[in-house]
Amino acid sequence: MKSSIKIVAGNASRPLAEAIAAYLEKPLAVCSVRRFADMEIFVELQENVRGEDVYIVQSTSFPANDHLMELLIMIDAARRSSARRITAVIPYFGYARQDRRTSGRTPISAKLVANLITEAGADRVMTLDLHAGQIQGFFDIPTDNLFAAPVMVRDIKERMDPADMMVVSPDVGGVVRARALAKRIDAPLAIVDKRRDRPGESEVMNIIGEVEGRSCILVDDIVDSGGTLVNAAEALLAKGAKDVSAYITHGVLSGGAVSRIASSKLKELVITDSIQPTAAVKLARNIRVVTIAPLLGEAIGRTADESSVSSLFA
C-alpha cells in the first residue's frame, strides 16, 4: 500500500517533508503554494492524487495564522481532487496552549482549530508531543499523538554518561513527561517548583530533589521565550549541579529567546525540527537540532500499511 502514498509539503515544513519523503523513498508530490497580490493563499496540486493516501506535512508555527490557513486550503484542495484519505501531519500543533478556559469570556482555541481541520476535510491527524494530551479528544477523527522521546533517549545515551544523569521537570505540570523519559534512561527525577507572575516570565522558587554533582537534563515540550529554561538552569547550578542541558521537542523560540539562551549557563539546548529552525538557531553556540523525520516517516508508513503506530513507543 506504500505505493499509494503522496507526501505534500506546506511552506512551514518543507525541509522536514523532504526528509520524510526520502525516508519513505518517495518523491514529494508537486504542489504549488503561492499568494495573490492581496496575500490570499492559493494552492494547486500539480499531479494526480485521485484515490491516493495523501499526507500533508505542515506545522502551524510562526506565523501561525498563515500556516494554519495554508494547511486548511491544502486539505480542501486534496479533498476536491478526490484523494482517498487525507492525513494532516502537524509536527507542531499551534494554539495547543489554549486548551482550556483559564478565566471568564475566553476561547478554547485548540478546539476551534481542531474543528477547522476536521471541517476542511482531513480524515486523520498526526502530531507530535501535544502540549496537553486531551487535545486528541478535541478531534472527531482519528488522531495519533507521537512522542519525540525515542529520538531524545537515543541522543542522550550517545552523548552523556548515564552514571550521573538527573532528569528535571521545569515545572510541576511537566512531571509526567519528564518521568517517562527518566524511566527510559534509568535516571532519577527532580522538579523545579516555580511561580509565574505574568505570561512569558517565571521565577524559580525551589528545587525538589538532590541535584548536587549531577548532569541535569531539563525536559519539556515547548521552549518559547526561554525564560523558564534559563532560570531553571541557574537555580540547578546554584544547587550544585555539574552542568545543565535541555531537551525540548518544539523550539518556538520567539522574540529574543535565542540570544537569551546563547548567553545563558545552559550547556546545550537540543530541539527537534518540528519547527523549521531559523538562521539564528543554526548559528547559536549552544542550540542543536535533531531530526524527527525518521520517526514521522515510520509512523506514516505504518499508517498507510494499517499496522501499529503505538508499538513505536513501547
Residues in binding site for D-ribose 5-phosphate: 196, 220, 224-228
In angstroms, rounded to a whole number, what is the distance separating the alpha carbons of residues 292 and 140? 26
Q: In angstroms, how far apart are the furthest CA atoms of the chain?
A: 61
Q: Are 208 and 235 in contact (CB under 8 A)?
A: no
Q: Where are the alpha helices (DSSP H) in the chain?
A: 14-23, 64-80, 109-120, 149-159, 175-185, 227-238, 257-262, 279-283, 293-304
Q: Which residues are annotated as a binding site?
A: 38-40, 97-98, 131, 171, 196, 220, 224-228
In angstroms, rounded to a whole number, what is the distance separating the alpha carbons of residues 104 and 11? 36
Q: Are 245 and 196 in contact (CB under 8 A)?
A: no
Helix (H) or strand (E) holding 191: strand 189-195
Show the cell assigned to 313.
513507543
Phi, psi dihedral angles at 170 (to 5 degrees): -75, -10
Q: Are 263 and 52 in contact (CB under 8 A)?
A: no
For 225-281, the DSSP string reads SSHHHHHHHHHHHHTT-SEEEEEEEEE---TTHHHHHHTSS-SEEEEETTSPPPHHH
Q: Which residues are annotated as a binding site for Mg(2+)?
A: 131, 171
Which candidate, 249, 182, 194, 179, places its Cα nearest to that of 227?
194
Catalytic residues: 194
Tell me if residue 107 falls in helix, strand or coil: coil
Phi, psi dihedral angles at 181 (to 5 degrees): -70, -40
Q: Which residues are annotated as a binding site for ATP?
A: 38-40, 97-98
Contacts of 34 (CB under 8 A, 6+ apart): 41, 42
